[in-house]
Chain A
Amino acid sequence: MKRAFPILAVLTTILLTYASYRALKIAPTDALQGDVYRIIYYHVPSAWTAFLLFFVNFIASVQYLVGTNSSTKAAGKWIVIVGGVIGAVAPFLPPVEHVLPTGMRPSAVATTVLLIPAFYFVIGWLFPGERLDMLAVTAAEVGVVFCTIVLVTGPVWARPVWGIWWAPGDIRLTSTLVLWLIYVSYLVLRRFSSSAQTQTLAAALAVFGALDVPLVYFSIWFFRTQHPQPVIGGGGSMDPRMLETLLISWTAFLCLAFLLGWSRFRLEVFRRQVEEAQALESLLGAGASTAPSLPLDRGSK
């Protein structure tokens, strides 16, 4: 398993280089914006990656909270299954289909909704017990890194194109900013809270954050309709070569996210082992022989 890491690192570097090359050279120049638009190949994939990571954190946090006792765990499982079934079937029913925004196909909505139980069960299976919490903090931290990039590249892109760094009604960027704030506060909570209940508190905060996001989106959406906003060109369909480049770029960044997440996860495992060893040490005194149940000598890389 550990041997795979350097190989993946090399592959990811190659993929990222290729994606950047495509972004800068192969993708056609935009008619309206010129070359500056190429920021999109970093900005948008980073956003998608960040949202995915925050979603993983949310699922892991919920599972951690319900996992504390078996009845809530079972209840959680059934709610997710039923929700998934309803969500998968509902878009095809006429009254619901009618409400969907134009261009959104029912199958797309159904597939997206099915991702939730899929993630729920896969994550629950791959990361039992404490590992759920480790996954949560990993996903949050790497998510914040990518989200920071979104918030930096966004204004840098906006300035030459719209003439302003920030548009208060820009719903996507503002929602992303709030999401970033929520997760930074999550990380701060984890750092400053003492260990026993940190994990539960953080999981609760993650749930609050997730509940907040749709509300943020709607509040800004309405605010925007009341106030004139800079006309932001774009929308409509994308040149297929651009779309291709965008997807390749996203794949590359997903691989990077995976590597960063894996490293962070291993760091977390290591950190907890050391913490345990230190606690044991101080409990038993310096003269006690520490049973080397911890693989600390294997020079874990």
Chain B
Amino acid sequence: MNATKFLIAAYAATWLIHGGYILSLVRRFRKLRQQVKELGKQK
């Protein structure tokens, strides 16, 4: 039973890492869109 917690940890870690990466992608997209808005305002 003790070993199962390692299994859960491994699976959880995998999805945390993937989730974190997806979040970073979303954040970067948002930042770029913000920059586009600012460019548009300057005109």
Contact = CB atoms under 8 A, between A and B. Distances in A.
Direct contact of A and B (CB under 8 A): yes
Given A156-B9, A160-B6, A290-B43, A46 B25 contact: no
Given A152-B17, A256-B18, A290-B43, A271 B32 contact: yes
Contacts of A156: 6, 9-10, 13
B21 A260 contact: yes
A296 to B, nearest CB: 5
A153 B29 CA distance: 29
A274 B9 contact: no
Interface of B: 2-4, 6-7, 9-11, 13-14, 17-18, 21-22, 25, 28-29, 32, 35-36, 39-40, 42-43
Given A42-B14, A145-B17, 16 more contacts: A20-B11, A38-B7, A42-B10, A152-B13, A152-B14, A153-B14, A156-B6, A157-B6, A160-B2, A256-B18, A260-B18, A274-B39, A277-B39, A278-B39, A281-B42, A296-B39
A286 B39 CA distance: 9
Interface stretch (A109-117, A197-205, A231-239, A262-270): A262-270
A149 B16 CA distance: 10
A21 to B, nearest CB: 12
A157 B3 CA distance: 9
5 A-B pairs with least C-beta separation: A36-B3, A160-B3, A39-B10, A153-B10, A156-B10
A157 B6 CA distance: 7
A83 B39 CA distance: 50
B3 A34 contact: yes
A152 B10 contact: yes
16 contacts: A33-B3, A39-B10, A153-B14, A156-B6, A156-B10, A157-B6, A159-B6, A260-B22, A267-B25, A267-B29, A271-B28, A271-B32, A274-B35, A277-B36, A281-B39, A286-B43
A260 B22 CA distance: 8
A290 B13 contact: no
A42 B15 CA distance: 10
A286 B6 contact: no
Given A36-B4, A290-B39, A290-B43, A270 B32 contact: yes
A289 interface: yes
Contact of B17 (A33, A39, A149, A274): A149
